[in-house]
A and B are shown apart, each in its own frame.
Chain A
């Protein structure tokens, strides 16, 4: 499956990653080589094989629906780039 410039731009948009035109062409080259290597998978017959998402086939554990965490907003906001009155600051979204 050949990779095109539009694929890289779409992925960059979905991943919220700014990519310049120069960088995009470099990524097309690199990612194409990686996907060529990945395409070896297509030669393997996997009909009827169930996908494996966890090496021990574990499923999510359930626990009682109880509050177990104390509020640590101040501690967590100490590493934020910009906060005010306990709120995270971002550029204005709504005028």
Chain B
């Protein structure tokens, strides 16, 4: 069963080939056997999953089941879930059980999907390798000595290893697309505001966005249709109709205008990654697309702007962890300040502290204009680069990451880790959608092709990705690790 895509599983459930209970038990068994090696889950909710599966099977028998009823999924441990721990990868929230479900979780439950559990992640979504988790690093199923990417590394590894057909992630600077690329799966970051952020633990509120991670663009289309839409509980969610993302998958690509940003093919890009991406572009040409070079001239300012804006927002968002209302509290505080400072020092990991300090510093008196205002001005220039490019082309294509997955422990210096996100970070600053699709390998490590569109162009991105997956089979490759537990 695990070798099927979500779309195929939905068809099999509908035809009665197997029940949701059988399917759910199958994946739970795979998690139990394989995840001691991968560490992709923080919590596995076997009992609840089997109960939900039974409800889905009954709905199926009554004829009231929707398309995705009975499909097992996993949630990055950043989505609040009533009655199940939501840790955000942090010691700070190791004891936190949210009193409510995130909107994404509510919508997935209403569609009848099953949650198998909560996946591992970089603490508070700050990281590009999943090595910043309080629960230990996740391994990449293609090569257990490599990182799975981050921050949605657990979701990506679990899908790639066939421990779950699809999972939810969040993306603030590349945290869906980069791990999707590193693990050889398909991951979509929607337009800012397309999916409600209600109940998603906040990192950088003007950049955070949730999206699906799955085996194919078609799978992502099914899931985006469920989770997208306006939500009165998130003031930044956009009141705009949700199109049928599945219906438009089959549109032909003849006449599609593809732009290749020259800044995405420069220094630092591994030659084998560049070759895989250029080969993918040739596939598009054979499907009738035309290709031209474009420029996004402010690309190299994206990482500096991000490392002002994101930590600034994080320092404000993370001020809520005070040891009083929820989360970790130090033992025997001598006074209120000791309670705050020690609870936070004990609860947060190194990278989170770095970003809180950077954000607090750049927002503080005497530095605000030089850093924060400046970064917001640059943010406008970066967005304008994309808007200008989309005057001339329909989509942009390039690598999702300059290299394939790197070795665990390889990047000790924070700045060298930050520079990994050169091709993904500007997308969040501009608020546009992006998708990473498997497009080859360097040795045994996957390469991701990133496709970008203008605001609310998710249907087009999914169509463009799906047509590639009709012409190639990179997305169907599975790591040997997945077969070991067949």
B380 touches A33 (CB 8 A): no
Chain B contact residues, CB within 8 Å of chain A:
95-99, 191-193, 206, 232, 235-236, 238, 298, 300-301, 303-305, 307-308, 315, 319, 322-329, 333-342, 344-345, 348, 353-354, 356-358, 360-362, 364, 367, 370-371, 373-381, 383, 413-415, 418, 429-432, 455
- Any B CB within 8 A of the CB of A72: yes
Report 26 cross-chain contacts, Cβ distance below 8 Å, ordered by A residue: A1-B367, A10-B364, A18-B342, A27-B354, A33-B413, A34-B354, A34-B414, A38-B362, A38-B371, A40-B300, A41-B304, A44-B301, A52-B376, A54-B206, A54-B431, A55-B192, A55-B431, A56-B191, A56-B238, A56-B455, A79-B99, A80-B326, A81-B324, A81-B327, A91-B334, A93-B335
**Chain B residues within an 8 Å CB radius of A78:** 97, 99
Which residues, 8 to 29 on A, are CB-close (under 8 Å) to B?
A: 8, 10-12, 14-19, 27
Q: Return the chain A residue nearest B351 by Cβ.
A: A30
Q: Is A53 interfacial (CB 8 A cutoff)?
A: yes
> Given A31-B358, A40-B304, A56-B192: A17 and B344 within 8 A (CB)?
yes
Q: Are the C-beta atoms of B376 and A27 separated by less than 8 Å?
A: no
Inter-chain contacts of B315 with A (CB < 8 A) = 15
* Contact in complex: A31, B324 (CB < 8 Å): no
Nearest-neighbour CB distance to chain A for B205, whole angstroms, equals: 10
Q: Chain A interface residue count: which class?
A: 35 or more
Q: Is the interface of B mostly helix, strand, loop or mixed?
A: helix
Question: Nearest Cβ in chain B — how far from A63, in angstroms?
Answer: 8
Tell me the minimal C-beta distance from A13 to chain B in angstroms.
Answer: 8
Tell whether, in the assembled complex, residue A91 and residue B335 are in contact, meaning their CB atoms are under 8 Å apart: yes
Q: Assuming A1-B370, A34-B414, is B364 touching A44 (CB within 8 A)?
A: no
B415 / chain A contacts, CB cutoff of 8 Å: 33-34, 37
B293 to chain A, nearest CB (A): 23
CA A55 to CA B192, docked complex, whole Å: 7
Q: Which of A12, A51, A90 interacts with B380 by CB under 8 Å?
A: A51
- A31→B357 contact, CB < 8 A: yes
A66 to B482 alpha-carbon distance, docked (Å)? 53
B300 contacts across to A, CB distance below 8 A: 40
CB distance B324 to A80 under 8 Å?
A: yes
Residues of B within 8 Å of A75, CB to CB, are 99
**Cα distance, A56 to B429, chains bound together (Å):** 10
Taking CB atoms and an 8 Å cut-off, the chain A residues in 72-95 that contact chain B are 72, 75-76, 78-82, 88, 90-93
The complex places the Cα of A22 from the Cα of B84 at a distance, in Å, of: 37
CA distance A75 to B101 in the complex (A): 13
Please tell me if the beta carbons of B413 and A80 are within 8 angstroms of each other in the complex. no
Q: Across the interface, which residues of A come within 8 angstroms of B322, CB to CB?
A: 16
Q: CB within 8 A of A50: which of B191, B364, B377?
A: B377
Q: Identify 12 new A-B residue pairs, CB closer than 8 A, beyond the known A16-B344, A51-B373.
A: A15-B356, A31-B361, A38-B304, A40-B301, A40-B304, A46-B378, A49-B381, A55-B429, A56-B192, A56-B238, A58-B193, A91-B336
